[in-house]
Amino acid sequence: MNQNNKQLIEKKLSNESIYNGKIIDVNVYDVELPNGETSKREVVYHQGAVGIIAVHDGYMYFVKQYRIATEEVLLEIPAGKIEPEDDAEKTAFKELKEETGLVAEDVRKLHEFYVSPGFSNEKIHLFEAKGLSLDQQQLDEDEFLELEKIELSQLEEKLINGAFRDAKTVIGVQHVLYSNDYK
Q: What is the DSSP letter of 70?
A: T
Q: Is residue 137 involved in binding its own copies (CB under 8 A)? A: no
Residues in 94-113 at the binding interface with its own copies, rule: CB under 8 A: 111-113
Verify whether residue 141 is a known catalytic residue: yes
Which residue in 3, 37, 157, 183 binds its own copies (CB under 8 A)? 37
| Catalytic, out of 37, 71, 85, 141 | 141
> What DSSP string describes 25-54?
EEEEEEEE-TTS-EEEEEEEEE--EEEEE-
Residues in 142-181 at the binding interface with its own copies, rule: CB under 8 A: 142, 144-146, 162, 164-171, 174-175, 177-178
Q: Give the binding range for its own copies (CB under 8 A) out of 58-66, 91-99, 100-108, 129-137.
A: 58-66
Question: Would you call 60 helix, strand, or coil by DSSP?
Answer: strand
Shortest spacing between CB 133 and its own copies, in angstroms: 27
How crowded is residue 28: how many other Cβ atoms within 10 Å of its Cβ? Answer: 13
Q: Is residue 31 involved in binding its own copies (CB under 8 A)? A: yes
Size of the site for its own copies (CB under 8 A): 75
How crowded is residue 112: how many other Cβ atoms within 10 Å of its Cβ? Answer: 12
Shortest spacing between CB 47 and its own copies, in angstroms: 11
- Which residues, in sequence order, are bridge partners of residue 64? 75, 146
Identify the CA nearest to 81 among candidates 126, 40, 29, 124.
Answer: 124
Q: Give the binding range for its own copies (CB under 8 A) out of 53-61, 71-79, 88-96, 98-106.
A: 71-79
- d(Cα 104, Cα 106) in Å, to the nearest integer? 5
Residues labelled catalytic:
141
